[in-house]
Amino acid sequence: MTEPAACVFCRIVEGREQASFVAQGADVLAFLDLHPITEGHTLIVPRKHAASIGEVDEVSAVAMWSLARRVAAALGASGLRCEAINFFLADGAAAGQEVFHSHLHVIPRPGGLPRAFARDPALARRRLRDQLPAALRGGRGSEGARRHRGAASEAALLRLEHRRSAS
């Protein structure tokens, strides 16, 4: 994980690295992605270093989405080719996060591009689709969170994981 002193986004927040700023607020800022997927691709970044979205404080998390909405509206009115918008947040290396300072991508989508995400047709056929929402409402999360939930919730998750591996 990136320490704040070595974090490129922290250096941008502190003014030690250059960026093309789109908007700035008390808790978050927006700047153009250095390696954009499409023209206008913007990053929304909390000012306070947080490697993952779970570490972002509530005020900054709300401010990230609020600023992302404003940026999306501005992109739509900008004259850029923007028929739709993708919001993307990779949380962790397995999800594709490359800079470990939580950030939200706002990506204008011109028509004619391939879909950003394709569905796995096998998932639609699984019995799990009926059981997964209940498991998620139960708060499946980190090991630390699991320890605080109690034996009944843990047993239900273990049964769900067993069913999933058996299917």
Catalytic residues: 103
Q: For the chain, what is the HEC assignment? A: CCCHHHCHHHHHHCCCCCCCEEEECCCEEEEECCCCCCCCCEEEEECCCCCCHHHCCHHHHHHHHHHHHHHHHHHHCCCCCCCEEEEECCCCHHHCCCCCCCCEEEEEECCCCCCCCCCCHHHHHCCHHHHHHHHHHCCCCCHHHHHCCCHHHHHHHHHHHHHHHHC
